[in-house]
């Protein structure tokens, strides 16, 4: 992808269709995590969820109460911003069967969209960072070192995307 | 730089966390931001500026304290208000906790 640049009160960038497709897929996976939190079927001892929904109090009792009262609202707010990014990507992607597969996509967001993207890019990056740092025995069986190296490249790519968006917004 | 985008979360939290008020024993609480070596520094600074309306210099300073000391108190006040801040920081992907200042 190319670095974000300022565009009116928002920002714009160009990325390859395969990059947009990958980011949309990752975004949808993170959305599923947040939905699991709302449905109270999230495994809170999972390292990724523990990082995304950290303990708010030293006291276990207060922490559990905070989690009970606030985690659905936090999840819903994250769903709002992640959905914004995923929908922007899906809208920019060529339709199935379209022959412009290797074309660069132009993505432009207004000020509110830029804030949503900033948060969503950081969130996906955080999830992948935690996953790639986990003991391999705790990951899906069959995950190889090459898979993990590829994911680490994605973490770097996301750092570039979020970092240049931050710079563009100033 | 309007706070409007934070409103949906703050409105729903006011309803959810408001139920704590009955047991709120008052006192002063702090919102503590914890160092996070993964998250990009300019992002942390931006979040602090938007949420707490800090100047860039103040937000940079607090971020530097968190990096150096492992943690930084970024706000203080009533419990419910600080819970909103912690929830907002969590939603932004940062690690934050509440601490009572006058035990």
Q: Could you read off the pLDDT of A88-112 as tens digits, one per residue? A: 999 999 887 666 656 799 999 999 9
* Rounded distance between C-alpha atoms, residue A94 and residue A63, angstroms: 45
Q: Is A69–B99 a contact, with Cβ atoms under 8 angstroms apart?
A: no
Task: Please tell me which residue of chain B has the smallest CA distance to A119.
Answer: B92
Confidence of residue A128 (pLDDT cuts 50, 70, 90): very high
Q: Is B98–A129 a contact, with Cβ atoms under 8 angstroms apart?
A: no
Residue B18 in any domain: the answer is no
Res B35: pLDDT: 97
Tokens of B52: 């707490």
Residue B66 in any domain: the answer is yes
The label of the residue with tokens 């949503």 reads: A116
Average pLDDT over residues A64-76: 96
Q: Is A74–B87 a contact, with Cβ atoms under 8 angstroms apart?
A: yes
Residue B49 in any domain: the answer is yes
Which among A30, A1, A5 has a CA at the least distance from the CA of A17? Answer: A1
A vs B, Cβ pairs < 8 A, gives 84
Q: Which of A4, A48, A65, A74 should we substitute to test contact with B (largest number of B Cβ atoms within 10 Å)?
A: A74
pLDDT above 50 (res A145): yes
Residue B91 in any domain: the answer is yes
* Rounded distance between C-alpha atoms, residue A73 and residue B19, angstroms: 14
Q: Is A118–B9 a contact, with Cβ atoms under 8 angstroms apart?
A: no
Among the ranges given (A14-18, A135-139, B81-85), the one the predictor scored with the smallest mean pLDDT: A135-139
Q: Which of A27, A33, A38, A54 should we substitute to test contact with B (largest number of B Cβ atoms within 10 Å)?
A: A54
Residue B54 in any domain: the answer is yes
Q: Are A162 and A168 contacting, i.e. CB atoms less than 8 angstroms apart?
A: no
Min Cα–Cα distance to chain A from B24, Å: 12
Res B25: pLDDT: 62
Q: Which of A65, A77, A116 should we substitute to test contact with B (largest number of B Cβ atoms within 10 Å)?
A: A77
Average pLDDT over residues A117-127: 98
Confidence of residue B3 (pLDDT cuts 50, 70, 90): very low
Res A102: pLDDT: 64
Question: Per-residue b/e over A7-37, b at no fewer than 16 CB within 10 Å?
Answer: eeebbbbbbebebbbbbbebbeebbebbebb
- Assign A108 to helix, strand or coil: strand
Residues of chain B found within 8 Å of residue A51, distances taken between Cβ atoms: 95
* Rounded distance between C-alpha atoms, residue B70 and residue B97, angstroms: 13
**Where in the sequence is the domain holding B81, given as residue range(s)?**
40-103
Residue B1 in any domain: the answer is no
Residue B75 in any domain: the answer is yes
Confidence of residue B5 (pLDDT cuts 50, 70, 90): very low
Res B19: pLDDT: 57
Number of domains within chain B? 1
Q: Please give the C-alpha separations between residue B18 and each of A55, A99, B11, in angstroms, as whole numbers.
A: 19, 54, 10
Q: Are A133 and A163 contacting, i.e. CB atoms less than 8 angstroms apart?
A: no
Res A101: pLDDT: 57
Res A39: pLDDT: 95
**pLDDT digits 0-9 by tens, B10-68:** 878 777 776 555 455 678 999 999 999 999 999 999 999 999 999 999 999 999 999 99
Average pLDDT over residues B57-85: 97
Phi and psi angles of residue A163, each rounded to the nearest 5 degrees, phi first: -65, -45
Tokens of B74: 């970024």
Average pLDDT over residues A143-170: 95
The answer, for A67 touching chain B at a CB cutoff of 8 Å, is no
The more confident residue out of A54 and B21 is A54
Min Cα–Cα distance to chain A from B39, Å: 7
Burial (Cβ within 10 Å: 0-12, 13-18, ≥19) of residue A159: middle
Which among B80, B97, B103 has a CA at the least distance from the CA of B19? Answer: B80
């Amino acid at each position: 992808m190319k670095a974000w640049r300022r565009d009116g009160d928002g920002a714009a960038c160009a990325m390859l269709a395969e990059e947009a497709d990958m980011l949309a897929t990752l975004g949808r996976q993170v959305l599923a995590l947040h939905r699991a939190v709302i449905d109270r079927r999230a495994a809170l001892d999972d390292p990724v969820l523990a990082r995304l929904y950290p303990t708010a109090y030293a006291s276990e009792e207060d922490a559990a109460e905070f989690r009970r009262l606030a985690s659905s609202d936090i999840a819903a707010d994250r769903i709002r911003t992640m959905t914004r990014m995923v929908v922007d990507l899906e809208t920019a992607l060529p339709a199935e069967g379209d022959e412009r597969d290797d074309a660069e996509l132009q993505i432009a967001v207004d000020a509110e969209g830029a804030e949503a993207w900033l948060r969503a890019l950081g969130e996906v990056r955080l999830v992948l960072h935690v996953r790639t740092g986990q003991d391999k025995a705790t990951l899906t069986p069959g995950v190889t070192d090459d898979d993990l190296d590829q994911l680490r490249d994605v973490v770097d790519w996301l750092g570039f995307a979020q970092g240049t968006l931050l710079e563009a917004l100033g | 730089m309007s706070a409007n985008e934070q409103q949906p979360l703050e409105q729903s939290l006011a309803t959810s966390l408001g139920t704590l008020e009955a047991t709120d024993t008052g006192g002063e609480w702090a919102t503590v931001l914890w160092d996070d070596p993964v998250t990009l520094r300019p992002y942390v600074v931006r979040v602090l500026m938007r949420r707490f309306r800090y100047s860039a210099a103040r937000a940079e300073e607090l971020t530097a304290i968190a990096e150096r000391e492992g943690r930084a108190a970024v706000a203080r006040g009533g419990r419910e208000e600080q819970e909103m801040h912690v929830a907002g920081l969590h939603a932004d992907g940062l690690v934050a906790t509440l601490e009572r200042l006058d035990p």
